[in-house]
Amino acid sequence: MKLKQHPFIFLSSLLILVLVSFLFALSTGSSHLPSQTILSLVDGTASPIQQSLVFELRLPRALAAFAAGALLSIAGVLMQVLLKNPLADPYVLGVSGGSALAALLAMLMGVNTFWLTGSAFLGALLSISLVFSFAHSNGSWSISRLLLTGIILASGWGALISFVLVISPPEKIHGMLFWLMGDLSYDRPLLPSYIILFFGFLFSLSISRQLNILLWGDQQAGSLGIDIKRLRTSIFFISSLLTAGAITLAGSIGFVGLVIPHLVRLIIGTDHRLLIPASALTGGALLIIADTLARTVLAPQQLPVGVLTALIGVPLFLYLLRKSQ
Amino acid sequence: MKAKLYQNSLLLIILLAHLVICTVTHAQIQVKDDSSQIIILQQPAKNVISLSPGLTELIYSAGGAQYLKGVVSYSDFPEQAKEIPQVGSYNALDLEKIIALQPDLVVAWKSGNPTHQVEQLIKLGLTVYISEPNNFMDIPRTINTLGKLMGTETISEQNSIHFINEFKRLETIYQNKIKSKNKRTFIQIWNKPVMSVNKDHLISKVITFCGGENIFAQAKGLTSAPSIESILVNNPDLIIATGMADTSKKWLSRWQQWPSLNAVKNKHLYAVNPDHLVRHTPRILLGIDEVCRLLNQPSPVIN
């Protein structure tokens, strides 16, 4: 494909895609804004209602969607390299399970958004440290051991989540299911997630050459002077932290972290120097579009964004897969 | 110089006093909601949005028919409520629709609406009255408060007094009857799995009011799925099913396979209309009347 040879053209077209999806999100909603008012928003002559619709409801959601999509996509790329498994996604090691359990318990207690967000993040951290300490206990750090630990813990979290769902009063279950499918209707602080995204992105980019080498196999990487154990540990922690940031922002949105990396690989190949930024932009754009549709297609009925990510992503992915053959 | 300073400060005091008086006289309506927040309205609300089907009924009872500009889905009573624009469902609100309607009062349901969305409405500067009716007397109280907020006290007071009188009438009729004392009742709200409610549920409170005893009053959750075994062991005198329309009959027929159950033996298997039993609204009076009649029916003589 030609795009591989022109990374800058590819990345700038993705940037344009992100901008277009932002415009789509800002101009689309369950209440119709005529196109003149969208212009009047720019010069500040729009009515306060229109201002608050666009800048206080639509914009924060679009920003949250972009961050969550980008975080999950980078985490997915890293996880697939770490576990050498194309089926790996950011949730495979149980980060989302721990986080969701903590969030559901917080919902059961009826706390406010601040505590809900905080407990989701703490739940994710707890899960990460459990996986790490078990997988690492005897000093060795094998992929299969890590994967097994993560999957077992994820099943444990899953069982506890089902338990919480069963004992919860019916009026809380709807909100809980939305959280489990991924929901961007929460008015959460955006800054922490963007800080995680910024540093996580820079770090991933800085190790992108090493990631490329790691794909050839451990021995080759070792012979080229890479400290594999240290690299693996840092990949594990960074991808987990990115995932925690995304879940805290939007619940456990499925599909994005698994498929966006594959989708971008189909277009531009496996060079991580390009794959990481391209995945971040594509994931962000996809989630903005999906969330805009989630709040409008059946309006006033609201849908969890997780339903839409797969509905848009699956046909797109199958199309690209067929084309690449 | 000094005189001028004095004059100026006097002027300032008069100005401040004027400001205070103005604010006081303009803040005409002030009520406390069920989350203990003080709600202040400069003038009666004329653009009201209801965030639960039950609150929609209460707003109608409070005389707010012409002021109700937005409701959530399943606001099906009174009939006119179906014509009002919808702003999502009670458990997933469409905030954009709510903002666009420019309400001067939003009536929210504490345990039903998503906390984060109600928080956001308040943050966006809307006046939100949070309601959480928990017992029968909360119904007239909420009707009165809503009437105050909409400036429709004449209607709301009339309707709340009517409710209280009617409630007292039922109380005198049924609470003195000894027959139904401690009639052990199993409330079936779902069939597969069989589900029941604990003492905090409105249906259970109606049963208690009528002199019955909910066999699962002490269950942990508001709703629970008790085992068939525990129902058989508890051996209820009465089974009340609250399924929609004809489904209750189907639910009740399954109990026929245990003819030794008191309720089956004495043919005390009843279907009641759930519409009158799940919302804290004046229609609960119909539910109370229906359930109390059932609980007080004489048992057929068995030899």
Q: Of A52, A12, A172, A60, nearest to A105 (Cα)?
A: A172
Q: Look up the ipTM and state it.
A: 0.77
Q: Would an 8 Å CB–CB cutoff place A301 in contact with chain B?
A: yes
Cβ-based contacts of A169 with chain B (< 8 Å): 111, 221-223
Highest mean pLDDT among A38-47, A55-64, B6-15: A55-64
Tokens for A86? 């194309």
Mutation target to probe the B interface, by most B beta carbons within 10 A, among A37, A47, A49, A57 is A57
pLDDT tens-digit profile of B244-278?
778 888 899 889 999 989 999 988 999 988 888 88
Give me the sign of the Cα torsion angle A72, A73, A74, A76.
Answer: positive
Q: For chain B, how many structural domains are there in total?
A: 2
Residues of B in contact with A250 (CB under 8 A): none
- Residue B110 shares a structural domain with residue B206: no
Q: Is residue A38 part of a domain?
A: no
The domain in which residue A239 lies consists of 90-324
Do A302 and B92 make contact, defined as CB atoms within 8 angstroms?
yes
Whether B37 and B145 map to the same domain: the answer is: yes
Task: Say yes or no: B145 and B113 in one domain.
Answer: yes
| Cα distance from N-terminal residue to C-terminal residue, chain B | 107
| Domain presence at residue A193 | yes
Spatial CA neighbour of B294 closest among B254, B256, B266: B266
Interface residue A298 vs chain B (CB under 8 A): no
B227 and B282 housed in the same domain:
yes
**Same domain assignment for residues B181 and B286:** yes
- Put simply, whether B86 touches A (Cβ < 8 Å) is yes
Rounded-to-integer distance, Cα A144 and Cα B219, Å: 45
Look at residue A290 and tell me whether its pLDDT is greater than 90. yes
- What is the widest separation between alpha-carbon atoms in chain A? 66
Q: What percent of chain A has pLDDT over 90?
A: 40
In a domain, B15, yes or no: no
Nearest to B102 among A49, A169, A185 (CB): A49
Q: What is the pLDDT of residue A174?
A: 84
What are A85-99's pLDDT values in tens digits?
A: 888 888 888 888 999
- Tell me the CATH number at A128: 1.10.3470.10
pTM of the entire predicted model:
0.81
pLDDT at A5 over 90: no
> How far, in Å, CA of B157 to CA of B165, rounded?
12
Q: Is B209 found in the same domain as B137?
A: no
Tokens representing B34 are: 């069920």
Q: Is the pLDDT of residue A124 over 80?
A: yes
Query: Which CA distances in Å does B278 have to B221, B242, B287?
Result: 16, 10, 9
Whether residue B137 sits in one domain with residue B42: yes
In a domain, B3, yes or no: no
- Any domain includes B218: yes
pLDDT (average), residues A129-135: 87
Domain count, chain A: 1
Q: Is B91 within a domain?
A: yes
Residue A147 lies in a domain: yes
Q: Among the ranges A69-78, A249-258, B289-298, which has the highest mean pLDDT value?
A: A69-78
Q: Do B62 and B149 fall within a single domain? A: yes
Do the Cβ atoms of A57 and B99 come within 8 Å? yes
Q: Please report whether residue B302 resides in a domain.
A: no
End-to-end CA distance of chain A: 12
Instruction: Kindly state whether B4 is in contact with chain A, defined as any CB-CB distance less than 8 angstroms.
Output: no
Residue whose entry in the numeric block shows the structure tokens 């721990």? A98
pLDDT tens, chain B, 303 aa long? 555 656 666 666 665 665 555 455 555 799 999 999 999 999 999 999 999 999 999 999 999 999 999 999 999 989 999 999 999 999 889 999 999 999 999 999 998 898 889 999 999 999 999 999 989 999 999 999 999 999 999 999 999 999 999 999 999 888 766 555 678 999 999 888 889 999 989 999 999 998 899 999 998 878 888 888 899 999 999 999 998 778 888 899 889 999 989 999 988 999 988 888 889 999 999 999 999 988 887 655 443
Residue A126 lies in a domain: yes
Please judge whether A300 and B102 are an interchain contact, meaning their C-beta atoms are less than 8 angstroms apart: no
Average pLDDT for A109-123? 87
Tell which of B132, B164, B196 closes a domain: B164
Q: What is the pLDDT of residue B175?
A: 75
Check residue B11 and give its pLDDT.
61
Residue B68 structural domain: 21-164
Q: Which residues of B touch A302 (CB under 8 A)?
A: 88-89, 92-94
The verdict on a CB contact (< 8 Å) between B222 and A169 is yes
Q: What is the pLDDT of residue B61?
A: 96
By Cβ distance, the residue of A112, A169, A301 closest to B115 is A112
Candidates B47, B52, B91, B190, partner chain A, best to mutate (most A CBs within 10 A): B91
CB B124 to CB A56 under 8 A? Answer: yes
Tell me which residue in A52, A110, A300 faces B124 most closely, judged by beta carbons. A52
Cα separation of A308 and A58, whole Å?
17
Give residues with Cβ within 8 angstroms of B173, minimum separation 6: B292
At residue A295's C-alpha, the angle toward residues A290 and A299, to 5°, is 135
Rounded to the nearest angstrom, the minimum Cα separation between A294 and chain B is 11
Which of the 8 DSSP states describes residue B50?
E
User: Measured between alpha carbons, how far is A300 from B56 in angstroms, rounded to an integer?
Assistant: 17
- Shortest Cα–Cα distance, A195 to chain B (Å): 23
Please tell me whether residues B238 and B203 are part of one structural domain.
yes
Residues B150 and B187 reside in one and the same domain = no
Residue A214, domain member (yes or no)? yes
Which residues in A lie closer than 8 A to residue B86 (C-beta atoms)? 300
The CATH number that applies at residue B117 is 3.40.50.1980
The answer to whether residues B134 and B110 belong to one domain is yes
